[in-house]
Amino acid sequence: MTIRKVVFPVAGLGTRFLPASKVIAKEMLPIVDKPLIQFAAEEAIEAGADTLIFVINRNKRQIADHFDTMFELETKLFAQGKHELLDAARDLLPPHVSCVFVTQKEALGLGHAVLCAKPVIGNEPFGVILPDDFIYNPGNGALSQMAAEHLKTGHSIIAVENVPREKTANYGIVSTQNPDAQLSRISSIIEKPKPDVAPSTLAVVGRYILDGSIFDLLERTTPGAGGEIQLTDAIAALLLKKPVDSFRFSGTRFDCGTKLGYVQATARVALDDAMIGDQVRVALKGML
């Protein structure tokens, strides 16, 4: 079944980026000239989505504003004959794609944020993208790669990558039947295990395709690590009912929830930019 709906849990406060994130949603931070949320939306659309569901808090109206029409700006650009800039400002989503905004009233964890989207999704399979996990790939995006596998198997799929063992406590960690395979059946998943008890070093990163039955499991999930409703715990319950696969995507992941990852992602995209890439390379060499 084609993945038509994708959830973006973007209600977090982004405290690592204060003071910038005091009034600007961290998902609106630009990678060169495009905000993280725009990259995420484009990845979802490439994977076949026609409904984008943004789970926000009451202060994150900038995301809705970004995808809305800004009449004054568009009128001015049109009057000035700046048609290329006009296209960049208004052609953010194809006409067939719609946006839905759902408010998460309390920050009760990723699992709770996903559960907030249940009234929009129903029981069909859906995608989840965490915009902080910026996955850069010259070819098909990570979610598109996963959607192609989902069409073949119908299974839930979770993106994974190897991390240093000393960092397993920062991630959900999976155990799979074949850890070296691109696609492998998950046998267990645990949230943020200490290095000495982690079943592997395969870490869950911010791309999921989930069966709609996950919602019933989320509703029965009790608060776990950090006192939050963990999506990992619901996936562990799903494993007992239906197959869930791990997927090792093509591309480079940058953790844009950290300052270092954000700077690295910006540098990577800037270096590949057709207009400024050569100048950026010279500038960076000069700085070093």
**Bridge pairing between strands 133-136 and 252-255:** antiparallel
What is the pLDDT at residue 280? 96
Q: Is the link from the previous residue into 19 a cis peptide, with omega within 30 of 0?
A: yes
Between CA 44 and CA 40 the distance in angstroms is: 6
Tens-place pLDDT, residues 206-220: 999 999 999 999 999
Against a cut of 0.85, is the pTM above it? yes
- CA pair distance 233, 188, nearest whole angstrom: 10
| Residue 3 token pair | 């993945």
The reported pLDDT for the residue numbered 266 is 97
CA distance 248 to 230: 22
In sequence order, what E strands does 49-97 have? 51-56
The pLDDT confidence band at residue 25, using thresholds 50, 70 and 90, is confident
Residue 131 is part of a domain; what is its CATH number? 3.90.550.10
Q: Are strands 5-9 and 126-129 parallel, antiparallel or unpaired?
A: parallel
- DSSP category for residue 75: H
Pairwise CA distance, residues 219 & 234, whole Å = 9
Write down the pLDDT at residue 83: 61
253 Cβ contact list (under 8 Å, min separation 6):
133, 134, 135, 136, 161, 205
Q: What is the pLDDT of residues 30-88, one digit of tens each?
A: 999 999 999 999 999 999 999 999 999 877 788 888 887 665 666 775 676 766 665 66
**In this model, does residue 130 exceed pLDDT 80?**
yes
What pLDDT, in 10s, does the model give residues 253-282? 999 999 999 999 999 999 999 999 999 999
Give the span between the Cα atoms of 149 and 152, in whole angstroms: 5
What pLDDT does residue 14 have? 76
pLDDT digits (tens, 9 = 90+) for 139-183: 899 999 999 999 999 999 999 999 999 999 999 999 998 888 999
Measured CA to CA, the distance from residue 63 to residue 28 in angstroms comes to 7
Q: pLDDT value at position 150?
A: 96
Domain total in the chain: 1
Give the residue numbers spanning the domain of 92: 5-287
Answer whether residue 251 shows pLDDT above 70: yes
- Among the residue ranges 124-138, 224-238, 255-269, the one predicted with the least confidence is 224-238
47 CB-near residues (< 8 Å, 6+ apart): 3, 6, 127, 141, 143, 144, 146, 147
Predicted local confidence at residue 106, as pLDDT? 83
Q: What pLDDT is attached to residue 63?
A: 87
For the chain, percent of residues with pLDDT exceeding 90: 70
Q: What is the pLDDT of residues 171-206, one digit of tens each?
A: 999 999 888 899 999 999 998 899 999 999 999 999
User: If you average pLDDT over every residue of the chain, what do you get?
Assistant: 90
pLDDT of residue 227: 76
Length of the chain counted residue by residue: 288
